[in-house]
Structure 1
């Protein structure tokens, strides 16, 4: 077997409206139109897609509350990490800088799914 490309990741969310606000407005990811037979949304980042799947019963718990990068997460490259940090804090989203010392931070979406942003 030879994998050739990562196509998408699925993220379970309990409140689709709050999640869509986070991924569209805060992170600035482009939403794409795909017909779904259940509540959810699709987003496009370069050649990669994110699939939000709504499940009102889901409860995300951090496996490691001290080092957010040691939890399941999705990572994105940003052009300006300080600008991203300012945007997240201005909208009340928590952040933790990477413990490795590199130019990266971790935040949480409204369901506590971990998002990594790295300057790249």
Structure 2
């Protein structure tokens, strides 16, 4: 039985595009990469090295962008899809809540509030 000793390089173009999708993480993409390597019996990058190589890819291709904001000009808000439970301290009732998140992009000041509806 022959074993492949050359390390399969990650497809960072694909990884970068996938990271733009909601819910996708670098850890999840690394796990996919490891599964692909295992299926062809190829060695793979460890997680920390994988992340370092991805950051090198981002820097090399100038894939980050700085956006200038005027103070107080914009407010960015979002309803987080994650449901959490808050307990009424007097009755013990469980109240399902959603998080409302707001950020002022110039100062990066953030506000989060749990809302029952």
Superposed pair shares fold, TM > 0.5: no
Whose RCO is larger (CA < 8 A, sep 6+)? 1
- TM-score, normalised relative to structure 1: 0.21
- TM-score, normalised relative to structure 2: 0.22
